Amino acid sequence: AQTVTQSQPEMSVQEAETVTLSCTYDTSESDYYLFWYKQPPSRQMILVIRQEAYKQQNATENRFSVNFQKAAKSFSLKISDSQLGDAAMYFCAYRSVRGYGGSQGNLIFGKGTKLSVKP
């Protein structure tokens, strides 16, 4: 079974600085998707960035970018120019392309990293 591990329960960054959140996963599949979700105190799950495993190029969305190392099964999130509004829980998630348990593919989440941004 696939697993997702986030080894940093909490992280802190100074406003305008850069922070990297770690995520590793375990799978025997070669094709899959990886995601980072943000969950602010409002509890809304917000998709931050998405990566297809077959693409070697790292995904980028404005101040958010990933470092995808397929061989190492690592998928870290870099937040540049951190802002106060970036403070939230961040969840890494895995989704099989073919499906898990016969489905179209549910998301498997890590336990999350709580990011604090200091003014």
Partner 1 sequence: NAGVMQNPRHLVRRRGQEARLRCSPMKGHSHVYWYRQLPEEGLKFMVYLQKENIIDESGMPKERFSAEFPKEGPSILRIQQVVRGDSAAYFCASSPRQSNYGYTFGSGTRLTVV
Which listed range, 44-52, 53-61, 68-76, 78-86, lies at the site for partner 1 (CB under 8 A)? Answer: 44-52
With binding defined as CB under 8 A, does residue 42 bind partner 1? yes
Helix boundaries (H) for the chain: none
Q: Which of these, 58, 28, 48, 27, lies nearest to 92 by C-alpha position?
A: 48
Spatial distance between the Cα atoms of 43 and 60, rounded to a whole number of angstroms? 24
With binding defined as CB under 8 A, does residue 37 bind partner 1? yes
Applying CB under 8 A, among 59, 87, 88, 93 the residue interacting with partner 1 is 93
Applying CB under 8 A, among 55, 63, 98, 111 the residue interacting with partner 1 is 111
With binding defined as CB under 8 A, does residue 75 bind partner 1? no
CA distances from 105 to 37, 94, 95 (A): 17, 9, 6
